[in-house]
Chain A
Amino acid sequence: MQGADGFLSDGADGSLPRLRRFATSLAGSGADGDDLVQSALERALTHRESFVPGTRLDSWMFRIIRNLAIDGARARKRRPTADLEEADAVAAAGAETTAETRLMLRKAQAAIATTLPPEQREVLALVAIEGLPYKEAGGVLGIPIGTVMSRLARARAAVAALVERPAEQGARA
């Protein structure tokens, strides 16, 4: 079920799940994210000579996905409500998860999907979620490492503020 010759493969499932997750975070929904991945795979095929041997293939694919996402964003409006519906679905899936953890997870999902500006969301997706080194992420996004660093810090601080638990706020009702 995965690419031949270990291509895009780093384990049982290969890298495709990571590409899909990244695309989903940019597109705002799983369906739109999958459309992006499909287009990116096709574009990668027609532009395969532009891949520089010795560089990271995943970074190359992330960059293609991001460029397509930017193109797509110009053409249509985002649909943030889809994010919240999906967040609900994911949160509801763990029926026995403690209420507090579920609430925090949902808040984090909502914060990422609707509160963070796109430039913070994409760097969070590449580094915190997909694990790219700062240098690679800066290359994908076309920004200096210092900017990667500051956007990450702001994004994490924003999420931290949004999921802060009442006990820690000292303002429990």
Chain B
Amino acid sequence: MSGFTDEELSAFLDGELPEARAAALEAALDRDPALGARMAALSEADALIKAAEPAPSNATAPPEMLAALARLAEAKPGSAANVVALRPKARAPSAGWLAAMAASIALVVGGIGGAAFQASRDGVDAAVALDAAVGVIRPANPLHAALETIPSGTVAPVPAAR
């Protein structure tokens, strides 16, 4: 057995596994195909989960909702500066183990992850973005290179993924 629980693999995907343990996991993924398969399955599920629920664009928000938002903005909850920047996880899993994974899984996971990110960012329907992501990925496509270097389950902007 690999000695890593599903909870740890899941936390790794979220960048929430403590540094030392994450490093140990990355090393183990390099030499343990069974562990890699478990990781790939969870990572793929995670990518699908992220892609399954596109965030609705404000263009589809009811007028009364936008009005309520504006009133709330005017009221300034609390008293300090309220803007909280929402950024991707500071520590994402690194790429070392990806190469050991089956290429088809990497392509699907990476493609969906990238598409979901791009879709949520641009307000594009995730299903449409998926088309672009999984349809054709040639070596000349920047997405192809990205898939080689970005760990699956990680979301990252890919210039020509659409």
Chain A residues engaging chain B, CB cutoff 8 angstroms: 1-18, 20-21, 24-25, 30, 34, 37-38, 41-42, 44-45, 48-49, 51-54, 56-58, 60, 87, 90-98, 101-102, 104-105, 107-109, 112, 124-125, 127-129, 131, 133-134, 149-150, 152-154, 156-157, 159-160, 163-164, 168
Contacts and interface: CB of A to CB of B under 8 A. Distances in A.
Contacts of B108: 101, 104
B78 A51 contact: yes
B116 to A, nearest CB: 9
Nearest to A167: B104
Given A156-B46, A164-B41, A112 B68 contact: no
A21 B128 contact: no
Contact of A108 (B52, B54, B70, B134): B52
Interface residues of B, dominant DSSP: helix
Interface in B23-73: 41-42, 44-46, 48-58, 61-62, 64-66, 68-73
A91 B77 CA distance: 39
A129 B57 CA distance: 16
Given A112-B52, A131-B86, A157 B76 contact: no
Contacts of B41: 160, 164, 168
Contacts of A149: 7, 10-11, 16
Interface residues of A, dominant DSSP: helix
Given A97-B131, A105-B130, A9 B7 contact: no
B21 interface: no
Nearest to B155: A131
Given A7-B82, A53-B82, 5 more contacts: A2-B58, A7-B83, A94-B130, A149-B16, A152-B7
A106 to B, nearest CB: 9
Contacts of B65: 16, 34, 37-38, 41
Nearest to B47: A108
Interface stretch (B93-101, B118-126, B140-148): B118-126
B49 A4 contact: no
A145 to B, nearest CB: 9
A3 B67 CA distance: 9
Interface residues of B, number: 63
B10 A153 contact: yes
19 contacts: A2-B66, A3-B72, A4-B70, A7-B72, A8-B73, A10-B84, A11-B121, A12-B123, A14-B69, A38-B62, A38-B65, A92-B127, A97-B130, A108-B51, A149-B16, A153-B10, A156-B6, A156-B49, A163-B44
A-B pairs, top 7 by smallest CB distance, nearest first, are A3-B73, A94-B127, A53-B80, A7-B73, A17-B55, A51-B77, A108-B48
A105 B125 contact: no
A128 B65 CA distance: 25
Contacts of B57: 13, 17
B77 A18 contact: no
Nearest to B90: A133
B68 A41 contact: yes
Contact of A1 (B50, B54, B66, B84): B66
B45 A160 contact: yes
